[in-house]
């Protein structure tokens, strides 16, 4: 296996991070540096996972990419356009589905929220636009229910449908499967892979779950402990379509899992 440091940025990158740093509070004087120097590129159509220990600033990194938070230094760009506010081309999928769905809206109207503010959209047209996306996640029958009437896994499906309804080029996922039970998680993994395969978007996923990262991604980047840098990136080189059971039994899967876990466990404070 050849760990390669991802500092060289290829030309056809859709999403690029150059020297992104983030500190909270006054730097040096009681403030903390969360991200030291993150450079990363994601190619069009790629599924990239970033793994790191808890508190390494994964969510901070993703929020900066999403334009929800400004970096203290460095730059994020989609194509050639620097990100200074949430761009139309990206949608952020939050970990806490219970907090990201609107309790006053029905399921269909939660999904319609993704597009109803756009020019020329009425509430009715937004609903029509949203129905196929709700069907894609298998919740067409729950359109008129409320989020709090659904299970956790179903709620996260609604959040996924809503994210896809905006038809983003890039989907940013912030540990989206970490608050559902283990079996539901495997289900949602395959759902996301199916949707990614059929709808051709680009994914940047952050997670602390090594299994999940290796199973889903084309490439896995390892974030060091705070203040974080990208330690290494690996190509997973696992065959697709992936299978919940068989892919996890492949020698390559086990090898990657071993290497990544060893990095995360044995050197948690390195960096």
Partner 1 sequence: MAERAQKQLGGRWLGVALVILLLALVEAGVRAGAINAALVPPPTDVVRRIAEILISGDFIQPLGATLYLLFIAYIGASLLAIALGLLMGRFPAIYNLFEPLVELLRPLPKPALLPPLILFLGLGDLMKSVVVGLAVVFPVLINTIQGVRGVDPVLINTARTFGYGRLAVLRKVILPAALPLIFAGLRVSLALGLILVVIAEMLAGTGGLGYLILDMQRTFRVQNMYAWLAILAVLGYGLNAGFLALEHRIIHWAAARPE
Residue 91 in the binding site for partner 1 (CB under 8 A): yes
Strands of the sheet with 170-174, listed across from one edge: 81-82, 73-78, 13-24, 32-43, 228-235, 219-223, 47-51, 202-207, 170-174, 90-93
Choices 75-83, 113-121, 137-145, 206-214 (CB under 8 A): range interacting with partner 1: 113-121
Smallest gap from Cβ 130 to partner 1, in A, equals 12
- Subset of residues 182 to 241 that bind partner 1, contact rule: CB under 8 A: none
Select from 19, 55, 79, 103 the one that contacts partner 1 (CB under 8 A). 103
Nearest-angstrom CA–CA distance, 121 and 151 = 30
CA-nearest of 235, 271, 258, 260 to 48 is: 235
Stretch touching partner 1 by CB under 8 A, among 1-9, 48-56, 93-101, 219-227: 93-101
Question: Rounded distance, CA 123 to CA 261, Å?
Answer: 47
In 3D space, the residue among 106, 157, 167 whose CA is nearest the CA of residue 134 turns out to be: 157
**Structure token pair of residue 115:** 């597009």
CA angle 58, 62, 67 (to 5 degrees): 150
> Is residue 251 exposed (0-12), middle (13-18) or buried (19+ Cβ within 10 Å)?
exposed
Pairwise CA distance, residues 194 & 188, whole Å: 10
Which span (22-30, 92-100, 228-236, 260-268) binds partner 1, by CB under 8 A?
92-100
Nearer to partner 1, 163 or 225 (CB): 163
Q: Which is nearer to partner 1, 114 or 230 (CB)?
A: 114
Q: Rule CB under 8 A: is residue 117 a binding residue for partner 1?
A: yes
Alpha carbon distance 231, 271 (integer Å): 8
Among 27, 88, 135, 243, binds partner 1 (CB under 8 A): 88
As measured in angstroms, the least distance from the Cβ of 133 to partner 1 is 13
Candidates 158, 166, 192, 214; binder of partner 1 (CB under 8 A) is 166
Q: Is 144 one of the binding residues for partner 1 (CB under 8 A)? A: no
> Binding pattern to partner 1, positions 9-48, x when CB under 8 A?
----------------------------------------
86 lies in the binding site for partner 1 (CB under 8 A) = yes
Which one of 16, 41, 63, 259 is in contact with partner 1 (CB under 8 A)? 63
Would you call the peptide bond into 227 cis, given omega within 30 degrees of 0 as the criterion? yes
Which residues of the shown chain bind partner 1 in the complex (CB under 8 A)? 63, 66, 68, 86, 88, 90-92, 94, 96, 99-100, 102-104, 113-115, 117-118, 146, 148, 166
């Amino acid at each position: 296996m050849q760990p390669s440091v991802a500092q060289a940025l290829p030309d056809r990158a859709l999403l690029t991070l150059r020297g992104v740093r983030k500190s909270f509070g006054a730097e040096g004087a009681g403030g903390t540096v969360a991200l030291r120097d993150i450079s990363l590129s994601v190619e069009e159509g790629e599924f990239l996972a970033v793994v790191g220990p808890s508190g390494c600033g994964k969510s901070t990194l993703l929020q900066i990419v999403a334009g929800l938070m400004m970096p203290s230094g460095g730059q994020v760009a989609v194509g050639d356009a620097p990100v200074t506010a949430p761009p139309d081309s990206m949608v952020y999928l939050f970990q806490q589905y219970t907090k990201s769905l609107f309790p006053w809206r029905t399921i269909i109207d939660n999904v319609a929220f993704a597009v109803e503010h756009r020019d020329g959209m009425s509430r009715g047209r937004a609903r029509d636009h949203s129905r196929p996306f709700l069907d894609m996640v298998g919740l067409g029958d729950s359109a008129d229910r409320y989020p709090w009437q659904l299970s956790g896994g179903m709620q996260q499906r609604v959040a996924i449908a809503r994210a896809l309804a905006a038809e983003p080029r890039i989907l940013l996922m912030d540990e989206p499967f970490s608050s559902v039970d283990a079996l539901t998680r495997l289900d949602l993994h395959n759902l996301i892979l199916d949707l990614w395969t059929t709808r051709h978007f680009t994914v940047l996923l952050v997670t602390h779950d090594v299994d999940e990262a290796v199973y889903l991604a084309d490439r896995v980047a390892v974030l060091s402990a705070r203040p974080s840098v990208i330690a290494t990136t690996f190509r997973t080189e696992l065959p697709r379509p992936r299978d919940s059971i068989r892919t996890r039994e492949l020698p390559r899967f086990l090898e990657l899992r071993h290497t990544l876990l060893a990095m995360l466990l044995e050197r948690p404070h390195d960096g």
